[in-house]
């Protein structure tokens, strides 16, 4: 109903109201108007308009009643108008407040309904990475040696010829250098010395002994480089773990015991170890460590008959090089060769991984084909 329809723009006298009963009837009409509209208030914007129409300071219905009905009312009606107005105000305010709570709750539950997360929907599965097989095998090897008192150290992949060769008793023009042809860094002409990518982890033997006095018991995992053409067993980058134990009373027995312990831990208790004489410039005596063939169990015959293709019928597989540290090496690090002794070994991690996990191509480590990687989560 418009303001004029309930007579809010006029005074009571102007409306012909002169008795208390007429006042009460007018207020009843206003209240009916309020109650009628009240039920149509649904959302927040309805509610705001409704509130302003009734409670607005300047031209809200209650203000108009105060200004047009109450203030100019004759003294004999003032009391009843005041009472009626108070009752109406209490009713209007209470109802509007009540509606506010309802409208807000409605808005809230509507937005909750809109934003509701359906927990029963299947989620987006993000793939979680895992370690590549090579670091996994590094870890296996490290765990075994750490359990018997070795520490893990790492060294630079860029080396000087001194550490990579000379101090390991490999002088210039030594034929061993041919097997270890590597990558030299392109340096300015006035560079003090050439630099190369290390061909093995053995240079760390020298760096460790330069820094520490015996007892020394370390293993050195890391990448090494050679100018090899890639094929099933060669790659220009591969991985090694160097081992070095030096003290005043280390014997060949300590050496063989350590190697055997490692082999049994790594491949299993049934695998046997065999040492064959070999040659490395930095060990004397030097050995090649073989293990009984883990594919045919050392018998040289494949499961279905015929020769085992892995050990070619030999029953043994070559694993890594090792030996007692050559006294000449101690000379390079100022150790007294008469007082100290020790052993060293250098394992190819790629080879260990291929044997243990039955892989026949080293290239799979570098191709990063997820179908391969997923097999070693």
Binding site for ligand DAH (CB under 6 A): 200, 202, 242, 280, 283, 321-323, 344-346
The token pair that represents 107 in the structure block: 């808005």
Q: Give the H/E segment covering residue 289.
A: strand 283-292
Q: CB-wise, 47 or 255, nearer to ligand DAH?
A: 255
Number of Cβ within 10 Å of residue 22's Cβ equals: 15
Q: CB-wise, 27 or 165, nearer to ligand DAH?
A: 165
Dihedral (C-alpha) 40, 42, 43, 48: value to the nearest 10 degrees?
A: 30
The token pair that represents 145 in the structure block: 């040696």
Q: CB-wise, 54 or 238, nearer to ligand DAH?
A: 238
Give yes or no for a contact between 134 and 349, defined as CB atoms under 8 angstroms apart. yes
Shortest distance, CB of residue 280 to ligand DAH, whole angstroms? Answer: 4
How many angstroms separate the CA atoms of 184 and 195, rounded? 6
Side-chain half-sphere exposure of 322, counting CA atoms within 13 A: 29
Give yes or no for a contact between 85 and 65, defined as CB atoms under 8 angstroms apart. yes
Q: CB-wise, 285 or 300, nearer to ligand DAH?
A: 285
Shortest distance, CB of residue 160 to ligand DAH, whole angstroms? Answer: 16
Q: CB-wise, 182 or 283, nearer to ligand DAH?
A: 283
Provide the 3-class DSSP secondary structure of residue 253.
helix
Q: CB-wise, 65 or 322, nearer to ligand DAH?
A: 322
Distance, CA of 92 to chain centre: 61
> Cβ contacts of residue 4 below 8 Å, gap of 6+?
none
The token pair that represents 25 in the structure block: 């009837």
Shortest distance, CB of residue 158 to ligand DAH, whole angstroms? Answer: 17
Give yes or no for a contact between 169 and 328, defined as CB atoms under 8 angstroms apart. yes
How many angstroms separate the CA atoms of 98 and 69, rounded? 27
For 72-203, strand residue ranges (E) read: 151-152, 158-159, 196-197
Q: CB-wise, 242 or 350, nearer to ligand DAH?
A: 242
How many angstroms separate the CA atoms of 277 and 323, rounded? 9
State the residue number with the nearest CB to ligand DAH: 346
Shortest distance, CB of residue 259 to ligand DAH, whole angstroms? Answer: 11
Q: CB-wise, 47 or 345, nearer to ligand DAH?
A: 345
């Amino acid at each position: 109903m418009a303001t004029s329809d309930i007579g809010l723009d006029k005074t009571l006298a102007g409306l012909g109201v002169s008795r208390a009963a007429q006042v009460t009837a007018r207020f009843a009409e206003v209240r009916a108007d309020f109650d009628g509209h009240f039920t149509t208030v649904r959302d927040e914007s309805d509610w705001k308009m409704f509130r302003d129409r009734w409670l607005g300071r300047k031209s809200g219905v209650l203000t108009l009643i105060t200004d047009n009905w109450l203030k100019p009312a004759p003294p004999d009606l003032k009391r009843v108008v005041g009472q009626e107005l108070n009752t109406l105000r209490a009713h209007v305010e209470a109802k509007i407040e009540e509606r506010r709570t309802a409208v807000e709750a409605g808005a809230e539950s509507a937005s909750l309904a809109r934003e509701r997360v359906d927990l029963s929907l299947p989620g987006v599965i993000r793939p979680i990475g895992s370690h590549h097989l090579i670091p996994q095998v590094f870890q296996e090897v490290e765990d075994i040696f750490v359990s018997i008192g070795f520490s893990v150290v790492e060294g630079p992949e860029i080396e000087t010829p001194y550490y990579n060769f000379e101090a390991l008793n490999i002088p210039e023009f030594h034929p061993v250098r041919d097997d270890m042809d590597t990558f030299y860094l392109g340096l300015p002409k006035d560079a003090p010395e050439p630099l190369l990518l290390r061909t093995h982890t053995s240079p760390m033997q020298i760096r460790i002994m330069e820094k520490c006095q015996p007892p020394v018991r370390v293993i050195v995992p890391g990448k090494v480089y050679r100018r090899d053409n890639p094929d099933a067993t060669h790659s220009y980058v591969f991985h090694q773990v160097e081992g070095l134990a030096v003290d005043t009373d280390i014997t060949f027995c300590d050496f063989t015991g350590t190697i055997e312990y490692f082999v049994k831990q790594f491949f299993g208790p049934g695998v046997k170890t065999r040492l064959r004489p070999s040659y490395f410039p930095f060990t004397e005596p030097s050995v090649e460590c073989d293990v009984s063939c883990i594919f045919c169990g050392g018998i040289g015959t494949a499961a279905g008959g015929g020769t085992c293709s892995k050990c070619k019928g030999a029953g043994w597989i070559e694993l890594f090089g090792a030996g007692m540290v050559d006294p000449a090496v101690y000379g390079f690090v100022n150790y007294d060769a008469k007082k100290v002794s020790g052993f060293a070994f250098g394992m190819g991690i790629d080879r260990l991984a291929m044997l243990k996990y039955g892989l026949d191509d080293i290239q799979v480590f570098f191709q990063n084909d997820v179908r391969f990687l997923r097999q070693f989560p």
